[in-house]
Structure 1
Amino acid sequence: MDGKNQQGESVKAGGGWVGVAAELRTAIETGRHAPGSRLPSERALSEQFGVSRVTMRRAIGELEGEGLLRVARGSGVYVRADIPVRFRLGDKVRFSKDLTATDANLTRKVFSAREVPASVDIAARLNLQPGEAVLDMCVIAYADALPVSVVTRSCSAERFPALAEKFAAMDSFTAALREYGVMDYWRRSTDITARMPTEAEARLLQQSRLVPVLAYAGEDIDADGIVISCQIGCFASERVVVTV
């Protein structure tokens, strides 16, 4: 029996890439491939189904067009997950309270931490002199195994020595900052824009560079109104809803 694919092309059902796509579709719909999970490599799938990699690529492309799969260049093929992650934008920003998901476990990890000279932009945000030492921490937030945001938090290396280690041990910036006498802090401002991701952002978010991200930048202040850190990062726009 003949049918049509997402592009309206005539295909013969029951064999070739159509049959492979049908089997993968069933595996996804029945939960054998869970939402957010990564499929085996193209080579492994080709061997599993006994087809060429060209045929497998065509089947994956069809399911991507149907919205069942997403292809992250350089990372792999993932089952799409409708994860209702919400970020509440307020005067206080706390990961444990402001980033929420209905049916997903939210976690974070420090991807990298390094001491660098402050750029002109970062120095202006932190009220430092360009070239002063700042600690840059790149932190990735996950909903289950799916990355939803990548942010670089910058702060004065002199005022907050070893902050990255304290955060990693406590898994809380709020708790880590208390070690330096900052008992509370507030968001001074937040700017949000839509743009295309950089190559590094797309790789870390496991998404295509053709899908926009929600980029944001903001500064946090302590009770005395002194800027303690700035954050520059982005959300995966298909996975996060920003609530004001």
Structure 2
Amino acid sequence: MRDTPTKTPIWKAIADALRSDMAEGRYGPGDKLPTEAALAERFGVNRHTVRHGISALVDEGLIRTRRGAGAFVAATPTDYPIGSRVRFHENLIAAGRRPEKRVLHVEERAATEGEATALTVSPGDQICAYHGLSLADGHPIAVFESMFPLDRLPGICAALQHTSSVTEALNRSGVTDYTRASTRLTATRATATQALHLQVSEGDPLLRSSGVNVDEKGQPVEFGRTWFVGDRVTLTLES
């Protein structure tokens, strides 16, 4: 008797087809896949079968799903060193990624008690607050906010209106070099606003880095907080 060929399960054929799409570059790291409904129409199956195929790719680590956002091709995490000389553009270029920063908001306001302590100024003193979005190869990896003491850096807000680079803005304000004096890492969850900018779901895990940068005289010139998407960045500590 002749053996009957074993048929490939439909969900596996869907997984194979999507895997081929990714291998051929149809979908790149960080790209969003079509919706379950669109894939169901493409393959002529129900959404449950599509979901089974996607789950197989999730198990392989090729796809990541985010509640309410959909399925995305998994991106290789970006190595991001945190040490005494933290430079966003230099870090990403060294990791082989294309760095980009987008300015969300720049404002002058009064320092909170915590900000004042970090910057060694008095609560209520005027600071420049710079809010932005960091991207690698066009994909968001972190949101950040940086606070600068206006009594030491009176032109910093104007400089940040013309350049997204903190290093360049500090240079224009007379700070030719700076180093990281302290760093603190904390696990947290994305707020609704952070989730919107980072293209994740509210409540997804983030890693918050808080740090103080000082000038050559040891005076604090920046207090920064950055919220990284945990599966897009690998933080490495350098001495």
Q: Normalising by the residue count of structure 1, what TM-score does the alignment of the two structures yield? A: 0.78
Residue 26 (structure 1) shift: 2.0
2:127–2:147 contact (8 Å) kept in structure 1: yes
Residue 151 (str. 1) matches residue 140 (str. 2): no
Aligned length: 233
1:177 matched to which residue of 2? 170
Q: 1:208 to 1:65 in 2, by over 3 A?
A: farther
% identity of equivalent residues:
32
Residue 218 (structure 1) shift: 0.9
Select the residue among 31, 56, 67 that pairs with 2:25.
Answer: 31
Q: State the secondary structure of the residue aligned to 1:39.
A: coil
Residue 67 (str. 1) matches residue 77 (str. 2): no
Residue 241 (str. 1) matches residue 230 (str. 2): no
1:227 matched to which residue of 2? 220
AA aligned opposite 1:14: P
2:106–2:161 contact (8 Å) kept in structure 1: no
1:67–1:80 contact (8 Å) kept in structure 2: yes
Distance in 2, matches of 1:164 and 1:72, equals: 36
2:41 matched to which residue of 1? 47
Residue 164 (structure 1) shift: 5.1
Q: State the secondary structure of the residue aligned to 1:24.
A: helix
Q: 1:45 to 1:133 in 2, by over 3 A?
A: farther
Unaligned 5+ segments in structure 2 are: none
2:190–2:206 contact (8 Å) kept in structure 1: no
AA aligned opposite 1:185: Y
2:185 matched to which residue of 1? 192
Distance in 2, matches of 1:39 and 1:162, equals: 45
Distance in 2, matches of 1:123 and 1:140, equals: 24
Residue 54 (structure 1) shift: 4.1
1:86–1:100 contact (8 Å) kept in structure 2: no
Select the residue among 10, 14, 19 that pairs with 2:9.
Answer: 14
2:82–2:235 contact (8 Å) kept in structure 1: no
Distance in 1, matches of 2:158 and 2:70, equals: 31
1:126 matched to which residue of 2? 119
Alignment RMSD: 3.1
Q: 1:235 to 1:28 in 2, by over 3 A?
A: same
Unaligned 5+ segments in structure 1 are: 4-11
1:74–1:203 contact (8 Å) kept in structure 2: no
Select the residue among 51, 54, 65 that pairs with 1:57.
Answer: 51
1:114 matched to which residue of 2? 107
Distance in 2, matches of 1:184 and 1:159, equals: 15
| Greater CA drift, 71-80 or 52-61 | 52-61
Residues 87-98 of structure 1 aligned to structure 2 (within 5 Å) = 87-98=80-91
AA aligned opposite 2:177: D
Q: State the secondary structure of the residue aligned to 2:208.
A: strand
Distance in 1, matches of 2:191 and 2:59, equals: 22
1:198–1:209 contact (8 Å) kept in structure 2: yes
1:9 matched to which residue of 2? none
Distance in 1, matches of 2:95 and 2:210, equals: 26
Residue 223 (structure 1) shift: 2.6
Distance in 1, matches of 2:65 and 2:118, equals: 36
